[in-house]
Amino acid sequence: MSIQPSLTTGQMMAQPLLISDLIEYAAQHFGKQQIISKRLEGDIHRYGYQDALLRSKRLANALTALGVEQGDRIGTLAWNGYRHFECYYGISGMGAICHTINPRLFSEQIEYIIQHAEDSYLFVDACFLSILEPIADRLISVKGIIVMIDEDQMPNTSLVNVINYEQLLSEHSEDYLWPQLEPSTAACLCYTSGTTGNPKGVLYSHQSTVLHAFASRNPDALNIASDTIVMPVVPMYHVCAWGLPYIAPMSGATLVLPGDGMGGEDLYRLIDHAKVDLMLGVPTVWLGLIEYLKQHGLSIPSVKTVGVGGAASPKILVETLDKDYGIYLLPIWGMTETSPLATLGSANKQLLALPEDERYALQSSAGKPMFGIEIEIFDEETNTKLAHDGEARGLLRVRGPWVLKSYYKSDKTDCFVKDQEGNTWFDTGDIATIDAHSYLRIVDRAKDVVKSGGEWISSIDLENAAQGCEGVVEACVIGVKHIKWDERPLLFIVRDKGIESQAERLDKEAVYQFLTDKIAKWWMPDDIIFVDQLPHTATGKLQKRTLRDEYWNYLVDND
């Protein structure tokens, strides 16, 4: 007699959502669709998803032969390229955890991260071996280092147990059956940049990664289809290149990987070569590309959309991309803790029909949440939800199936907060507004907002205003100590080095003049300091803490 299933349980197949399914799907249905990589060896490499699948399977066999077991952490220190892509699939697909390490972190942080994750093998681009050489003795969990370069170009190194990637793959079969893992199995580990304290690990699961990819490719999100040619200019060592190595195979899209070529000239060449139509990255990358295009009178007609996140999109960037290049700036908000995509401002008909100024304003917001992500702003004192009126500013909290519920091997709990209905939210550390149409606007990081006489001045808004002044390459605002107002804003400016004549060079007076009708009078910075360069974090964001430490007493001392 057959056993009847419970009538309250859905009667559908419990097919787990696994990372290996993404590459299997792409290989089977879009096998010839290409992954185009700028190699560190100098040339351009092209192959199809079918080739990528077979090499990922070789890698999975190689890892098994090396004794890697499910749940083991395997580190990568690498740029965006096809071998790194194979690591994403070979490692996670066989049930181990792909731990992407940001090579731009300080040496002590890299050492800390590898020790904390207890990585057993490291897959490394040859150019990053010099990072490991001085710290190798202290990386006791690491059993071997696999160098991702052609066999005949293996560099000399003082490291031991070094294996060439191509040699390793050639020794193993491309026959491999992916294990049917539980969907909650850990797949990938990324550490936050650690602007305060040690970096913290965020451990994504197979299911959270696939759901994030499902949501992110939708028309009102990144709008990726099988004929999209997409290039992540955000590195694969930073929050999985915002999910693109998963989203592209799920969509059968062409994936373009720029290697270490994140500068203006390299980007231009690759865009032109591969006819890229969608790119993603932080604002500074695009400022660099635009500078190069302007200097050389070039254009990039294939590009339709540039997705910008990681920091606020300055209005001037929205306007330049639109007016000078016919490109839509797609604003994005997210963080390592949210996989990272959470809110986006897509180019829908309603938005495109708005008067230019209103449209630009929305394009420099952080967009609207994707299905699956809930966002709310909370009052710090009362823990109540604030109005979505575009005015009320509160602590931004998020929840959803690709938002973390705890940090990896950490007892930090203060950022997980219950609301009055008992739901748990992740407190992002951002202060934001949400308007009646659900557009999110990040006012500031809670620790960066300038607290002047009990009111908040958004350092981001001030920077955006200053950024619009001709001759300004980069602007940064911090709050510094003030006897009467507690804190007042101090503006740092990097001037355009191309303007050499003293008479044409930007001075304080010109900046103040420019800002007069752009910001409230009480927001006016108390001083403006011209600097040659500004400090940045490993992910290219302004390192405000360094400036705050140095200039905290500046106004008090110069009073």
- Residue 539, Cβ density class (10 Å: 0-12 exposed, 13-18 middle, ≥19 buried): buried
Give the type of residue at 34.
Answer: Q
Please report how close the Cβ of residue 292 comes to ligand ADP at its closest, in angstroms: 23
Please report how close the Cβ of residue 291 comes to ligand ADP at its closest, in angstroms: 21
Name the nearest CA neighbour of 469 among 488, 496, 443.
496
Contact 364, 331 (CB under 8 A): yes
- SS3 of 324, please? helix
Angle at 252 between CA 309 and CA 215, to 5 degrees: 45
Please report how close the Cβ of residue 441 comes to ligand ADP at its closest, in angstroms: 8
- Give the residue with the Cβ less far from ligand ADP, 52 or 239: 239
- Residue 509, Cβ density class (10 Å: 0-12 exposed, 13-18 middle, ≥19 buried): exposed
Catalytic annotation, pick one of 185, 192, 320, 433: 192
Contact 541, 310 (CB under 8 A): yes
- Give the residue with the Cβ less far from ligand ADP, 52 or 230: 230
Please say if 402 is a catalytic residue. no
Please say if 509 is a catalytic residue. no
Q: How far apart are CA 377 and CA 394, in angstroms?
A: 5
Catalytic annotation, pick one of 143, 319, 456, 481: 456
Catalytic annotation, pick one of 24, 111, 166, 337: 337
Instruction: Give the DSSP per-residue string, 259-283.
Output: BT--SHHHHHHHHHHHT--EEEE-H
Q: How far apart are CA 357 and CA 364, in angstroms?
A: 11
Q: How far apart are CA 550 and CA 532, in angstroms?
A: 16
What tokens appear for 46 in the block?
């092209």
- Give the residue with the Cβ less far from ligand ADP, 141 or 406: 406
Question: Which residue's beta carbon is nearest to the bound ligand ADP?
Answer: 335
Angle at 90 between CA 21 and CA 149, to 5 degrees: 140
- Give the residue with the Cβ less far from ligand ADP, 120 or 365: 365
- Give the residue with the Cβ less far from ligand ADP, 277 or 448: 448
Please report how close the Cβ of residue 80 comes to ligand ADP at its closest, in angstroms: 15
Please report how close the Cβ of residue 154 comes to ligand ADP at its closest, in angstroms: 33
- Give the residue with the Cβ less far from ligand ADP, 93 or 367: 367
Give the type of residue at 335.
Answer: M
- Give the residue with the Cβ less far from ligand ADP, 252 or 310: 310
Please report how close the Cβ of residue 101 comes to ligand ADP at its closest, in angstroms: 14
Please report how close the Cβ of residue 64 comes to ligand ADP at its closest, in angstroms: 32
- SS3 of 308, please? strand
Phi/psi of residue 49, nearest 5 degrees: -60, -30
Catalytic annotation, pick one of 451, 508, 518, 541: 451
Contact 144, 66 (CB under 8 A): yes
Interface residues with ligand ADP (CB under 6 A) are 192-193, 239, 309-312, 331-336, 340, 366, 428-430, 442, 445, 539
Name the nearest CA neighbour of 128 among 155, 109, 152, 108.
155
What order of strands is seen across the sheet that includes strand 341-344? 44-48, 34-38, 254-257, 229-232, 278-281, 305-308, 328-334, 341-344, 368-369
- Give the residue with the Cβ less far from ligand ADP, 27 or 477: 477
Contact 375, 397 (CB under 8 A): yes
Please report how close the Cβ of residue 104 comes to ligand ADP at its closest, in angstroms: 12
Q: How far apart are CA 142 and CA 154, in angstroms?
A: 20
Please report how close the Cβ of residue 354 comes to ligand ADP at its closest, in angstroms: 19
- Give the residue with the Cβ less far from ligand ADP, 252 or 281: 281
User: Which element (helix H / strand E) includes 289?
Assistant: helix 283-296
Please report how close the Cβ of residue 237 comes to ligand ADP at its closest, in angstroms: 11
Please say if 485 is a catalytic residue. no
Please say if 178 is a catalytic residue. no
Contact 397, 428 (CB under 8 A): yes
- Give the residue with the Cβ less far from ligand ADP, 146 or 341: 341
Q: How far apart are CA 251 and CA 262, in angstroms?
A: 25
Contacts of 363 (CB under 8 A, 6+ apart): 313, 318, 328, 329, 330, 331, 345, 351
Contact 331, 363 (CB under 8 A): yes
> Could you give the residue numbers annotated as active site?
192, 337, 451, 456
